[in-house]
Structure 1
């Protein structure tokens, strides 16, 4: 199994096989437009601009499961991402990334790389961790599920999950991992 066994609905309503990204280094992210981590869109776009010509792509999957932080329609999400952050990497229609209606892609991803904890020194973690412990302790009961928006999965050129980054890892802090995969793929 790999991400190539899955498909998702693109923003234009067309079903898209992830096999389309075969051979590329892929970063899959669950996103939200009204989250304390929404600023990460800007750095994700910077990474995409920097490496897209080297067979790197970012795939964004909006999700409204975490405190209703992505209530907008798919069209509103796409427009907001473009206008506010210049996002032009592929976005897909809103999905669930955890619990009973979880998209099969995220079921696969989360079972390939488990949750290893948050960076407690990240500025937003000081708000997020108490919020989860108080308001959503059920999110923390297992080692695999998505805990919050902007969880990121780095995929190699064979469609295999290489690394999982939680929301408390800023996109720029993943750059060396991306460069290493791109260098390995170029050999």
Structure 2
């Protein structure tokens, strides 16, 4: 018996949900991730998390699957109000890493849980300070392939963690699914570890 559907293809989100003992199945729920003009980072991630959860809910109904809550999430990096999503290619990844080098940026991850009574959201905002990076470090990191599918072109749980001098916020939020906020949403539906209390 599964607890919910995950409207995300992210392997990090799958690992994190499994880490807290939630049973789930992945459901395909593609959405247009293009930011609106002048859209603020927190509005953007909340809108996309909701859209993914709603798309997953609709896919569940269209496919005649058993009705269960659907969780969607979205992560972006913001530097001086500029959104840094997933890189288009190696050159784009390197350009983003140059922007982040020696700066403090925000990582925003929104989580949305769609259930039969509506949709609930939570937002995690973390501040991450990067060490200054050399061109050789940037080139080697891009060549590792790790930046390819990650907002801001780095993964804190991998080699990208070597660049982080300081984190003020949620490590799992920076990874792509803030576990505390997610667990609170799930507990309200009687799911997960926090629901035991």
TM-score range, shorter chain: under 0.3
- From the two aligned structures, give the one with the greater strand fraction: 2
Q: Which has the greater radius of gyration?
A: 2
Calculate the TM-score normalised by the size of structure 2: 0.25
Answer 1 or 2: higher relative contact order, Cα 8 Å, separation at least 6: 1
Calculate the TM-score normalised by the size of structure 1: 0.26
